[in-house]
A and B are shown apart, each in its own frame.
Chain A
Amino acid sequence: QLQLQESGPGLVKPSETLSLTCTVSGGSISSSSYYWGWIRQPPGKGLEWIGSIYYSGSTYYNPSLKSRVTISVDTSKNQFSLKLSSVTAADTAVYYCARVSGLEAAFDIWGQGTMVTVSS
């Protein structure tokens, strides 16, 4: 069945750019039925939607992060990626990738998450 796996550095220095990749296996990222998204969760806090992408490359971002976020898709590798620039300690979080499914637009399949710490 479909699986998602996040990958990338677990430690990023302040002011640098956080880069993560989500690899989709067991299915195609190019399906017109789905969006693909990034969600994060700071330690001990709730879930925050970062942004989403359609296989065509159309992107949608959380207004509070829009100036620093770039999400892209590589259909040849069945991957989509997140870049978050000018990071601070407030960006320390577990970062999840997920599939957005159906008309109800629910996050129905999630990666296991990857912890990213911003520290010098």
Chain B
Amino acid sequence: DIQMTQSPSSLSASVGDRVTITCRASQSISSYLNWYQQKPGKAPKLLIYAASSLQSGVPSRFSGSGSGTDFTLTISSLQPEDFATYYCQQSYSTPIFTFGPGTKVDIK
């Protein structure tokens, strides 16, 4: 089974900050990595697919990079609406999937 880890588990940041979240897979998953944003009481929302492709309608301040085992989600300038929990998800072993444990971004 492919295991996913994320770091940090939480972070505090200010509006305008550049934020970076890391996701690591237990084995190479090529670029089969997706990122989601979840706000309290809401369903997750797809932000990035295939490691670096921006989902339609998602602001360009969100970007993804990486391949193999190490991946990064970057928010170039944090906005008030970006305070949320972010999850990575591997799809290399489709149709078997695994989510990372999540990274909570809150206000400093």
- A-side interface residues toward B, CB under 8 Å? 35, 37, 39, 46-49, 52, 54, 60, 62-63, 96, 98, 100, 102-108, 110-113
Contacts and interface: CB of A to CB of B under 8 A. Distances in A.
Interface of B is mostly: loop
A63 B44 CA distance: 23
Interface stretch (B13-21, B69-77, B96-104): B96-104
Contacts of B43: 96, 98, 110-113
A108 B1 CA distance: 23
Of the listed residues A35, A46, A100, A105, the one surrounded by the most CB atoms of chain B closer than 10 A to its CB is A105
Contacts of A48: 99
Given A52-B97, A105-B32, A107-B34, A63 B49 contact: no
Given A37-B97, A49-B97, A49-B98, A104 B44 contact: no
A70 B95 CA distance: 15
Interface residues of B, number: 25
Given A49-B98, A49-B99, A63-B1, A107 B87 contact: no
22 contacts: A35-B95, A46-B100, A47-B44, A47-B102, A54-B95, A60-B95, A60-B96, A63-B1, A96-B44, A100-B95, A104-B34, A104-B53, A104-B91, A105-B95, A106-B46, A106-B49, A107-B36, A107-B46, A108-B49, A110-B45, A111-B43, A113-B43
